[in-house]
Amino acid sequence: MYELTYAKSFGVPVSSVKNPSTERQIGKVQELLLGYGGGIGALRRGGGALVADRTDAELDGWKYAWRETHPNVVQTWRDLERAAIKAVRSPGEAFEAGYPGRAVKFKTAGSFLWCLLPSGRCLCYPYPKILADDYGGQLTYMTVPGPSDKGKIVDDPVNSPKWARVPTYGGALMENVIQAMCRDLLVDSMLTLDSMGAAIGLHVHDEIVIEVSAEKAVSARVEMERIMRSPPEWAAGFPLFCECEVSRRYG
């Protein structure tokens, strides 16, 4: 995937991408850091030694090369932000964003902006407010600020160290939606496994760990792979894949 990203960004055949420490790594950095609207800042923070000696102009070139080869992603950032802002400005009315049939819906009800996911679960943005800017309005909401919010907090009379107004944008909204959908896919598999009597010991990111007797381990692995590779109805067609392995201890 990272070799393909590099090849598309720089207009070369994928077969020519041979150097894993530079070309493939550039593709990896692009794919992991630019997918949610990131730019020079994101590349500087996450690119490590690969970007240390690169100029801002060079990194900006990586950003635009990635965006030009991912037009649907870029359009989805804009559509999500536009739909969310419209929902705040028109309380009670729903606005869709995303591919028809698997879009999300934004709606302001009460003091909250809700984002209805394809799974039927909602994300919630408390006390949304649109602030004036040069681009048609900045979407903000109240949250418990974390380390990543440092320097981003927007002035608000009710701000405190534990409750403050922060801005968001299309790329961040897309990150929220993607992470939430992937959580729903994982939990769907966990609920299916639980209903079959599987003893789930823990889950870590996109991984589920179950305990079985040694004589059932091989058959359990096959069944677990089948379940985790089968998307639920709301995610029909999703390219879901996993690999399970058997071990005596978690590692």
The whole-number pLDDT of residue 108 equals 98
For the chain (251 residues), the mean pLDDT of every run of 10, in chain order, is 92 90 92 94 93 95 95 96 97 95 95 97 97 88 91 93 95 96 97 96 95 96 97 93 94 85
The whole-number pLDDT of residue 77 equals 97
Secondary structure string (H, E, C) spanning 38-96: CCHHHHHHHCHHHCCCCCHHHHHHHHHHHHHCCHHHHHHHHHHHHHHHHHHHCCCCCEE
Encoded tokens for 174: 């897309």
The whole-number pLDDT of residue 65 equals 95
The whole-number pLDDT of residue 136 equals 78
**Residue 43 CB coordination number (10 Å):** 23
**pTM of the entire predicted model:** 0.90
The whole-number pLDDT of residue 198 equals 96
Residues 92, 108: contact at Cβ < 8 Å? yes
Beta bridge partners of 129: 140
The whole-number pLDDT of residue 150 equals 83
231-243 as b/e: b if 16+ CB within 10 A:
ebebbeeeeeeee
Encoded tokens for 93: 């009315």
The whole-number pLDDT of residue 133 equals 85
Beta bridge partners of 198: none
